[in-house]
Structure 1
Amino acid sequence: MRNTLTIVVLVLALISSNVVLGQVKPGFSVIAYYSGKRLTEVDSIPAEKLTHIIFSFCHLIGPRLHVSNALDTAVIQRLVSLKSKNPNLKVLLSLGGWGGCATCSDVFSTRKNRKLFSRSVNELTTFLQTDGIDLDWEYPGIAGFPGHKFQLADKHNFTQLVRQLRKTLGKEHVISFAAGGFNQYINEAVEWKKVMKKVDMVNLMTYDLVGGYSVTTGHHTALYSSPQQPESIDNAVSRLFQLKIPRQKIIIGAAFYGRVWEAVPDTNSGLYQPGRFKTGVDFKNVATQYSADSGFIYHWDETVMAPYLYNPSQSLFVTYDDKHSIALKLKYAMEKGLGGIMFWELSNDQYEDGLLDVINNAKLKHLKQ
């Protein structure tokens, strides 16, 4: 009886400790893409609130994965050192990014190159003591960055690439990929059932759903669809459910940044109106650069569950994630039984009381229920 009581007390103490420290519960991933270049910034990352950090980006030289410079190598090594704060933290290297995969279509079209790439990934992960690879090829088989080659064969070659990576890296390393959160990507870019058998997770880029090439405004990271905007997190997730993709392998994306349109008419408070993309803005700067004192009016869209700002005198429209929309996305992911939530990009957050804190606090709240 005494031994049983001692065990119960120890278990309760461990649970209490995890809640106080904000530890992430195993099985629900909180994944940060990170592209920062300052070593001192890495030291301040709250690693205990994350399960994965994905360094962005590495690139191809020939068929080999390459870290661009000595500073990037130092940043990666410093990210790995965060395991002293969180031993369960996984650090991944990401290939590509928007504009960073110009040669992917050609390189991954041959078995020889896929093998050479996989070997280089294994060598880098061993040398840097990282935990795996995230493939951010934008996009196999469909148009992505202007001028970058794509071909129908990319779709199957991507499957073959994933298979070769798993064969080379083994089961102990993490393999993920960043997927477009829009219908054309889901329909045309990936052999989903074949790929998902080999990867640990898919990171849905459910942001930029209204991107820099759009001539009308909208919500770039909508949770739900509207009649004017069919693309959303819920749309992408529902389509993957229809394809029988395991829920625990689906990671939804949130945006730690906003997008600004100019020359937007004062109709419907600027929403779903013609305009020109102007710039992006880090979440940490939204409150100061687009404040109420400067004429920006806050709006909440109950249909898509997302905020936006509009300045009628300057004809500026801002779409972004705020604390409320981030909390709703976390709730959605947990209620749908998904594998977690990821975001672009960690250094865009506020240093204190930011969006990562919202994710962590909302996660702990739902875990208690």
Structure 2
Amino acid sequence: MYRHKILLLILVLISLNVLAQKQKGFSVIAYYTGDSKKIDEFEINKLSHIIFSFCHLKDGKLSVDNAKDSTTIKYLVSLKKINPHLKIMLSLGGWSGCEPCSEVFSSADGRIGFAKSVKIVNDYFKTDGIDLDWEYPTIEGYPGHLYQQQDKKNFTALVKELRKVLGKKNELSFAAGGFQKYLDASVEWKEIMPLVDRVNIMSYDLVNGYSKITGHHTPLFGTKPAEESTDRAVQFLLNLGIPANKLVIGAAFYTRVWKGVENQNNGLYQAGEHTSGYDFKSYAKELTTANGWEYFWDNKAQAPYWYNKSEKKFATGDDLSSVRGKTKYALDKKLGGIMFWELTLDTNRDGMLHAIDKVVNK
């Protein structure tokens, strides 16, 4: 009996080791905006990274906004006792959270001061690194935020300073717009990529809230020439010689919705006015036939969309099928992984994260 138990234990350990080897090198990364309690609702054992979102610049230094956020970060770090392979990172900025970035990072003193503050904060919380979410260097991002031509070179200088100060111990990544204007204008790719662990490509919001025409906001492939897509961004960076294992693609756990959309082509590529959308966890309740929604699958884009004839509304986003497709694409292309915005938008069980995990560990 004792020998049987030992044998069973050995088999379990072997199975776990095989699983770990299969997952090695492929990251599943969650941006997280919740608190220290909500995280326990999710299956964090299926994640390689949690990126706390967001920290901000205060007097030129990386700042955790309040005591609640500090408590959350400390709790996230404590989860590593359960899963030693889990990485906890801090994210700077976000869509509306990097107003002073262009100015602060425009000087050597500003970059040095910020990099030192990142090391201090990481050392204090025992976090594993920083993800830069500056939207965007050189091109217009959040309305009213400063952007300058020199941002591109300043971003390179910032990454160099961070890597020098953080050394090899802490991870360094950045969130990149998945659209062509950003890819062309915002980053010196060949200078930066040797210094970072990965780039998290925001291959969502490719049709955003400012658009007056509907479309797929997070498609895997384009359906017509010059259409933004996940694959277009990936191929652009691969063609530059960026290593595939440093590219992470993004999934959206939410829809974007337009109203006033006429019933042509089931609402796809039609005029409309952007309005509030739905989180994945509310799909089953909101995006239903009972509520007037009809589901469609675009086989070329490998993306779902929904149209509501009675309300003249159009919805676009990822779902279980498209997120499985993105994960398989990332594995087939030997990319560094998949990330998503963001964990609290998922169902607690059997949702988007579960779908990703099933593909990674099939």
What TM-score do the two structures reach when normalised by structure 2?
Answer: 0.95
Q: 1:3 corresponds to which residue?
A: none
Counterpart CA distance in 2 for 1:263 and 1:221 is: 21
Per-residue deviation at 1:85?
2.0
Task: Deviation per CA, 1:153-182: give whole Å up to 9, x if none.
Answer: 000000000000000000010000000000
Q: Aligned partners of 1:61 and 1:347: how far apart in 2?
A: 26
Aligned length: 357
Paired residue type of 2:202: M
Q: 2:3 maps to which residue?
A: none
Evaluate the alpha carbon distance shift between residue 359 and residue 199 of structure 1 in structure 2; reply closer, same or farther with a 3 A threshold: same
Query: Residue 40 of structure 1: CA displacement?
Result: 1.8
Q: What residue number does 1:349 align with? A: 346
- Aligned match of 1:75 in 64, 68, 72? 72
Contact 1:43 1:82 survives alignment (8 Å)? no
1:363 alignment counterpart = 360
Deviation at 1:67, TM superposition (A): 0.4
Per the alignment, residue 210 of structure 1 pairs with 207
Q: Alpha-carbon deviation of 1:44?
A: 2.7
Q: Cα 1:188–1:99, aligned 2, differ >3 Å: closer, same or farther? A: same
Structure 2 residue 274 is matched with structure 1 residue 285? no
**Runs (5+) with no aligned partner, structure 2:** 1-5
Q: Distance in 2 between matches of 1:25 and 1:302?
A: 28
> Are positions 1:28 and 2:29 aligned together?
no
Q: Structure 1 residues 15, 357: CA separation in 2 closer, same or farther (over 3 Å shift)?
A: farther
Task: Determine the structure 1 residue equivalent to 2:12.
Answer: 13
Give per-residue Cα distances to partners, 1:176-215, cap 9 Å, x unaligned: 0000000000000000010001100000000000000000
How far off its partner does 1:24 sit? 7.2
Counterparts of 1:180 and 1:146, CA distance in 2: 16
Aligned to 1:4: none
Q: Is the 8 A contact 2:252 2:317 kept in 1?
A: yes
Q: Which amino acid aligns with 1:75?
A: T
Q: Which residue of 2 aligns with 1:60?
A: 57
1:315 equivalent among 312, 315, 330: 312
Give the Cα–Cα distance (whole angstroms) in 2 for the partners of residues 247 and 115 of structure 1.
Answer: 30
How big is the shift at 1:10? 7.4
Q: 2:94 is matched with which residue?
A: 97
Counterpart selection for 1:176 from 173, 176, 179: 173
Letter of the 1:223 counterpart: L
TM-superposed deviation, 1:15:
3.8
Q: Secondary structure at the match of 1:184?
A: helix
| Identity %, equivalent residues | 53
What's the offset of the Cα at 1:46?
1.9
Aligned counterparts, 1:224-243, within 5 A: 224-227=221-224, 230-243=227-240
Shift of 1:13: 3.2
Cα distance change, pair 123–89 in 1 and its aligned pair in 2 (3 A):
same
Alpha-carbon distance in 1 for matches of 2:24, 2:7: 20
1:69-125: per-residue Cα shift (whole Å, max 9, x none)? Answer: 000111111111111221011100000000100010000000011111011000000
CA distance 1:188–1:87, change in 2 (3 Å): same
Judge conservation of contact 2:277–2:315 (CA < 8 Å) in 1.
no
CA distance in structure 2 between the partners assigned to 1:55 and 1:220 by the alignment: 24
For the residue of structure 2 that corresponds to 1:251, the secondary structure is strand
Paired with 1:308 and 1:144, the residues of 2 have a C-alpha distance of: 26
CA contact (8 A) 2:42 2:348 kept: no
Distance across 2 between alignment mates of 1:53 and 1:133: 11
Pair 1:165–1:11, CA change in 2 (3 A): farther
Q: Which residue of 2 aligns with 1:113?
A: 110
After superposing on structure 2, the runs of 4+ consecutive aligned residues of structure 1 that deviate more than 6 Å are 7-11
Please give the TM-score of this superposition, normalised by the length of structure 1.
0.94
* 2:335 is aligned with 1:338: yes
Q: Which one-letter code corresponds to 1:114 in the other structure? A: R
Quote the offset at 1:287 in angstroms.
1.8
